[in-house]
Amino acid sequence: MSKGAAEAAAERIAVERPEAVLVAGDISHGDLQDAEAILEILRGSGVEVFFVPGNMDSPKLSSWSKKGITNLHGRCENFKGYTLAGLGGSVNTPFNTPFEMNEQQAKQILEKTIQQCSGGRLLLLSHSPPKGTDVDMTSSGIHAGSTSVRDFVESRRPALVVCGHIHEAQASTP
């Protein structure tokens, strides 16, 4: 995301006043300071920001948070009657991007994260989409999501899953 796009989004957020902003990663292309600046621009809208880093972000972003900007990678947070859980990065890609892990590591992070959760309806913020769904289909027709995320979604049944990673994929369910 560019700083200009973040500024435009922050202006819209300030007008719409949603309860929170959820950012599903790929905030910058590996530049930690750019990612921090973009998240701060979004927070400047006056709305709480929750995020996970993407596979294109610096792995160092996975341990960064600031007041009003909450990193959910490997964490659970209660927010207005909801429990938000997060998984950043992606499962291994053929591109060797900065923040990748294997399926077993993703599964372990999700299992550890859910143990921290308490009360409220569960929302999952994951950079990797669940494998074999409309949101993990690349433009070349390959399902590039995570089986660990899919298993988590099927077993835990979150009320909402917000994911990124496959930039050209879009889907929603009623």
Rounded mean pLDDT, 131-157: 91
Assess whether pLDDT exceeds 60 at residue 18. Answer: yes
Per-residue pLDDT tens over the stretch 85-132: 999 999 998 889 999 999 999 999 999 999 999 888 999 999 999 999
Q: Tell whether 54 is covered by a domain.
A: yes
Per-residue pLDDT tens over the stretch 33-82: 999 999 999 999 999 999 999 999 999 999 999 999 999 999 999 999 99
Task: Say if CB 98 and CB 30 are below 8 A apart.
Answer: yes
Q: Tell whether 126 is covered by a domain.
A: yes
Q: State the CATH number of the domain containing residue 157.
A: 3.60.21.10
Q: Tell whether 11 is covered by a domain.
A: yes
Q: Tell whether 173 is covered by a domain.
A: no
Q: Tell whether 76 is covered by a domain.
A: yes
Residue 108 has a pLDDT of: 98
Q: In the numeric block, which tokens belong to residue 120?
A: 């409220």
Q: Tell whether 80 is covered by a domain.
A: yes
Residue 15 has a pLDDT of: 95
Q: Tell whether 16 is covered by a domain.
A: yes
Assess whether pLDDT exceeds 60 at residue 174. Answer: no
What are all long-range contacts of 168-174, with beta carbons under 8 Å and residues at least 24 apart? Answer: 168/138, 168/139, 169/129, 169/134, 169/135, 169/136, 169/137, 169/138, 170/134, 170/135, 171/133, 171/134, 171/135
Assess whether pLDDT exceeds 60 at residue 165. Answer: yes
Domain count, the chain: 1
**Structural domain for 11, as ranges:** 3-163
Handedness of CA 145, 70, 26, 139 (dihedral sign): positive
Q: Crossing angle of helices 103-116/147-156, nearest 10°?
A: 30
Q: Tell whether 174 is covered by a domain.
A: no
Predicted confidence band of residue 170 (pLDDT cuts 50, 70, 90): confident
Task: Say if CB 1 and CB 31 are below 8 A apart.
Answer: no
Residue 86 has a pLDDT of: 98
Predicted confidence band of residue 173 (pLDDT cuts 50, 70, 90): low
State pTM to two decimals.
0.93
Distance of CA 139 to the CA centre of its chain: 21
Residue 120 has a pLDDT of: 86
